[in-house]
Each structure stands twice: as C-alpha cells, then as structure tokens.
Amino acid sequence: MKAEISCPRRKRDFLHGIPSHCWCGNPISVFVSKTTRNPFRRFYRCEEARMREGETHLFKWFDEALVEEILIVEARQTTIKEDLEAWLLQSLVELVELVKSKRTLDV
Ligand SMILES: [Zn+2]
C-alpha cells in the first residue's frame, strides 16, 4: 500500500475509481451480493447486465472502487501541491528580479 502512494501520478493512470457508466453506455447502480463467497458485499453494475447475464458488462466491487477513488484524489492533491509550489517559486523569482531591476533604476 505504501509503495502505491509513493508514486501517485503513475498509479492514477490505470485507476478508474468509482464508475459512472458501463461499457455498454448505461449508468451504473450499486447492488448487494447474495453469494456465500461475498455476502452483503456491495458492487457496481448496470441494470442491463441483470437481464443479459451472458454478456460482459462492467463489474466492480464497491469497496475496491472507493480505495481507487481515494488514491486518485490523493494523486490530484499531490499534483496541485506541486503546481502551487512551482507557481510560488516562479513568483518569488519574478519578485526578486523586479526588486533588482527597481534598485538598478533608482541608482
Ligand atoms: Zn452494461
């Protein structure tokens, strides 16, 4: 888990988080598993998949999607933080240059 967090930008590239639509284009709903292997575990799936069990539709465990979503948000926060730090550094450089040029003009 810790290794995944240390490279959030790379991790974000293959994470999809909480799905909004199935590959078939239909919106996703949350269902509850009734199997003995995963009793009461929630999962995402489209309504169409319930009627067409032979077809391949998106299936994703709710808890796994949430973990992915957290990692995506964390990666975005890291990107924003890095962008703000770069902006701040650039602003300081420009401010120093401005002060230097002002002093040159005053002399
Ligand atoms: Zn579908």
Structure tokens at 36: 């003995």
Domain boundaries, the chain: 11-106
- Ligand 1 centroid to Cα of residue 76, in Å, is 28
CA dihedral angle for residue 45, residue 46, residue 52, residue 54, rounded to 10 degrees: -40
**Model confidence at 32: pLDDT above 90:** yes
For the beta sheet containing 42-46, the strands, ordered from the edge strand earlier in sequence to the opposite edge, are: 28-32, 42-46, 60-61
- Please answer whether residues 19 and 28 qualify as being in contact, where contact means their C-beta atoms are separated by less than 8 angstroms: yes
Query: How far, in Å, CA of 5 to CA of 69, rounded?
Result: 13
pLDDT tens for each residue of 54-83: 899 999 999 999 999 999 999 999 999 999
Report CA(64)–ligand 1 centroid distance (Å): 19
In angstroms, the CA 65 to CA 40 distance is 16
Ligand 1 centre distance from Cα of residue 84 (Å): 40
- pTM here is 0.68
